[in-house]
Amino acid sequence: MTKVIRNGTIVTADRTWKADVLVKDGKIVAIGNDLHGDHEFDATGCYVMPGGIDPHTHLEMPFMGTYSADDFESGTRAALSGGTTMVVDFCLPSPGQSLLEAIQMWDNKSTRASCDYSFHMAITWWGEQVFNEMPEVVKRGITSFKHFMAYKGALMVDDDEMFSSFQRCAELGALPLVHAENGDVVAQLSQKLLAEGNNGPEGHAYSRPPEVEGEATNRAIMIADMAGVPLYVVHTSCEQSHEAIRRARQKGMRVFGEPLIQHLVLDETEYFDKDWDHAARRVMSPPFRNKQHQDSLWAGLSAGSLQVVATDHCAFTSDQKRFGVGDFTKIPNGTGGLEDRLPVLWTKGVNTGRLTPNEFVAVTSTNIAKILNMYPRKGAILEGADADIIVWDPEKIKTISSKAQQSVIDYNVFEGIQVKGLPRFVFTRGELAVNDGKVEAKPGHGQFVAREPHMAVNKALSTWKEVVAPRKIERTGIPATGV
């Protein structure tokens, strides 16, 4: 049984052209004019693009005795509804837990995913066992390792551990990721704010100013450089962090930055809302910043100093958020966005001219696939690629509302924003998941995507580091040999 997407304009990261797309057995099998198949989907007036990939989600994530509210079932349905056809979630071992055991747990969670997914492995502790299990993790197709520089006393690793892990990544051809905030400083600032009575959600933002993120980003970059490994900085939210990334890149370092759709369009004034719930629902780390930071992030996307747009989707209900009434440090950190990333980015980015349509595809899909070494199986409209496809109607309008969303939570941080540009059809490996705007996700359809290590940038960087490696000086006149 074949499907054809007809009469659309294909938009990829590198070009735009009119052609039909023929899909069979979950793959794109032909691209050309006047193709036909068993089922035909009209893309007239639409753009046909690679499905979005969200490189940063936390579905059913354990947190303070509870779990983030969207699991792989609701989360991937939300993703599909907004044109995202793949998510990369974080596998989080408990301190002391085997990495392989953690993979098993995440495998279990993800059985009802309706789109494809992959995992990053988090290095939440360090020891010989972790060192020894990392190769097996890579062998199982998980080639990216996340490090938390914040969440002191919980997920945080120190510089010594991080440097050890980065060196291990270099050996394995893997890619380290960092959540970059100085955890020591955040912890003390938080206590100071609480002590001063600053216990509302705005205190969360006050406790994590841009300088704290910029510092940690800068530090992680230095450590990666010393380890000779590329680096991926998740949720780059501010100019300070972006500046550190730019500065590194202009020295030839291989560093990637990931702004979130939230940071691109929402700002810190959300935390100053008189309504505690409104503010608390926006609590995430890093917090929203001001307009100058937003301008910096947008410029980074068009300049290429920032490469991808993610969501850090980690949804908590208002009830869960209210754990933190009277103490902002107890508000579960996280917001949603899986459903809204593409429409919001298109509206605020492409419709304003800040991004070209091709850049939109690059930052929502293709660059991610390349950096995580899944391209062109993912992130491409090419013969042989997985048929993860969105048919995008640039004229379609809606106003975002939690009432109509797929996510199980009871609010939406983008509530009330009118978007122009929405999926008409979405295909996940050839299966129709959004049909003329209506969501038809199939739980369990999603599969794990294994990835290969030793990406091209890893190999190039290793070669360069060997070229410039320290050389021992051959000496005459060493005193111990009898000067």
Residues 281-340 binding its own copies (CB under 8 A) are: 292, 295-296, 298-300, 302-305, 318, 322, 325-326
164, 285, 294, 407: which one contacts its own copies (CB under 8 A)? 164
Q: Which amino acid, 365?
A: S
The pattern of x and - marking residues 444 through 463 that bind Zn ion according to CB under 5 A reads: --------------------
How far from 323 is each of 66, 166, 183, CA to CA, in Å? 11, 35, 22
Binding flag, residue 254, its own copies (CB under 8 A): yes
Burial 367-393 (b: 16+ CB within 10 A, else e): bbbbbbbbbbbbbbbeeebbbbbbbbb
Segment interacting with Zn ion (CB under 5 A) among 24-32, 67-75, 178-186, 221-229: 178-186
Cis previous bond, 376, omega within 30: yes
CB atoms within 10 A of CB 418: 10
Segment interacting with Zn ion (CB under 5 A) among 162-170, 196-204, 306-314, 391-399: 306-314
Segment interacting with Zn ion (CB under 5 A) among 173-181, 187-195, 402-410, 433-441: 173-181
16, 94, 129, 402: which one contacts its own copies (CB under 8 A)? 16
CB of 458 to its own copies, least distance (A): 10
Return the one option of Zn ion, its own copies, none that residue 195 interacts with (CB less than 5 to 8 A, by type). Answer: none
CB of 108 to its own copies, least distance (A): 33
Distance from first CA to last CA of the chain, Å, rounded?
A: 85
93, 257, 376, 446: which one contacts its own copies (CB under 8 A)? 376
Return the one option of its own copies, Zn ion, none that residue 179 interacts with (CB less than 5 to 8 A, by type). Answer: Zn ion
CB of 58 to Zn ion, least distance (A): 6
Binding flag, residue 353, its own copies (CB under 8 A): yes
How far from 350 is each of 16, 117, 164, 361, CA to CA, in Å? 14, 27, 41, 10
CA geometry: angle 407, 412, 418, nearest 5 deg: 110
120, 147, 179, 424: which one contacts Zn ion (CB under 5 A)? 179
Binding flag, residue 204, Zn ion (CB under 5 A): no
In the region spanning residues 432 to 461, those forming contacts with its own copies, defined by CB under 8 A, are: 456-457, 459-461
Nearer CB in complex with its own copies: 219/396: 219
Segment interacting with its own copies (CB under 8 A) among 68-76, 197-205, 419-427, 438-446: 197-205
225, 339, 386, 388: which one contacts its own copies (CB under 8 A)? 225
Cα(317)–Cα(336) distance, rounded to whole angstroms?
10
Nearer CB in complex with its own copies: 1/467: 467
Question: How many residues belong to the site for its own copies (CB under 8 A)?
Answer: 101
Tell me which residue of 430, 467, 452 sits closest to 37, measured CA to CA: 430
366, 405, 406, 428: which one contacts its own copies (CB under 8 A)? 366
239, 312, 339, 340: which one contacts Zn ion (CB under 5 A)? 312
Binding flag, residue 246, its own copies (CB under 8 A): yes
Strands 52-57 and 84-91: parallel
Tell me which residue of 148, 144, 142, 163 sits closest to 221, measured CA to CA: 163
Cα(116)–Cα(10) distance, rounded to whole angstroms?
22
CB of 54 to Zn ion, least distance (A): 11
DSSP per-residue letters across 325-355: TT-GGGSPP-B--TTTHHHHHIIIIITTTSS
DSSP per-residue letters across 411-447: --TTTT-EEEEEEEEEEETTEEEEETTEE---TT---
Return the one option of its own copies, Zn ion, none that residue 440 interacts with (CB less than 5 to 8 A, by type). Answer: none
In the region spanning residues 107 to 146, those forming contacts with its own copies, defined by CB under 8 A, are: none
Cα(70)–Cα(186) distance, rounded to whole angstroms?
27
Are the C-beta atoms of 176 and 232 separated by less than 8 Å?
A: yes
Within 165-265, strands assigned E span 175-179, 231-233, 255-257
In the region spanning residues 172 to 191, those forming contacts with its own copies, defined by CB under 8 A, are: 182, 184-185, 187-189
Residues at the interface with Zn ion (CB under 5 A): 179, 312
